[in-house]
Structure 1
Amino acid sequence: MTQSEKRQHWTNIVFKQHESDLSIPSFCKQHDINYATFHYWLKKLKQTDDAQVAHQVVMNDPPSFSGEMVVVHLPNGLRAELPTSLSSVQIQTWLKALQ
């Protein structure tokens, strides 16, 4: 598993824990996840963007419009549907968060 895949995997796990409304110890026990490993990744994912590398978003095809939405396909495999009413700053913020 690449570092990017690991990061995405643990991002999903942390999100699921947050959405579950379970405490971290309960969530880890219920999902057979090592508590220390969960905290390691939680801390790693919360690190500032200063240490992260920005990647250019390459769009091979023109963006697809679905009503008032623009669909963006990111190099990491994510697909984002963003409202066309967003400002350029908001779009940049979303793209940075999804990398």
Structure 2
Amino acid sequence: MTQFEKHQYWTAIVNQQQDSGISIPQFCKQHDVNYATFHYWLKKLKQTDEEQIVHKVIMNDSLPLDSVVVVHLPNGLKVELPISLSLAQIQTWLKALQ
């Protein structure tokens, strides 16, 4: 399972628990979900929601084609991508690095 698939899966589980109206321990017991794992993902999903910040990017057409765009990711990674990449290529790289 990819990280994206895990994120989707646990988002659904957490939403299901919240919609159920029962406590987390009861929900975990009834659905055979590990209690510690549930809390790990609950915390991770809350952090993801709080940490997502969108920044407007302005590209200057006069930059040399060998320039790079530096992206600092929330997990501490720093990525340097060639400015010549298309938007689709940049999105592909960012998804792969999540």
TM-score, normalising length: structure 2 = 0.51
| Structure 1 CA distance for aligned equivalents of residues 20 and 41 of structure 2 | 18
Q: Which has the larger radius of gyration?
A: 2
| Structure 1 CA distance for aligned equivalents of residues 25 and 52 of structure 2 | 27
Following TM superposition, by how much is the alpha carbon of 1:34 offset from its aligned partner in structure 2, in angstroms?
A: 0.4
Provide Cα deviations, 1:34-66, integer angstroms capped at 9, x if missing partner. Answer: 0000000000000022538xxxxx8xxxxxxxx
Gaps of 5+ in 1: 53-57, 59-99
Q: Does 1:32 align with 2:32?
A: yes
| Structure 1 CA distance for aligned equivalents of residues 17 and 31 of structure 2 | 10
For residue 38 of structure 1, what is the amino acid of its counterpart? Answer: F
| Structure 1 CA distance for aligned equivalents of residues 52 and 26 of structure 2 | 29
Aligned to 2:52: 49
Aligned residues: 55
| Structure 2 CA distance for aligned equivalents of residues 4 and 32 of structure 1 | 22
For residue 28 of structure 1, what is the amino acid of its counterpart? Answer: C
Gaps of 5+ in 2: 54-73, 76-87, 89-98
Aligned to 2:2: 2
| Structure-to-structure mapping, 1:73-88, within 5 angstroms | none
For residue 3 of structure 1, what is the amino acid of its counterpart? Answer: Q
For residue 11 of structure 2, what is the amino acid of its counterpart? Answer: T
For residue 14 of structure 2, what is the amino acid of its counterpart? Answer: V
| Structure 2 CA distance for aligned equivalents of residues 34 and 13 of structure 1 | 12
Of all paired residues, the percent bearing the same amino acid is 66
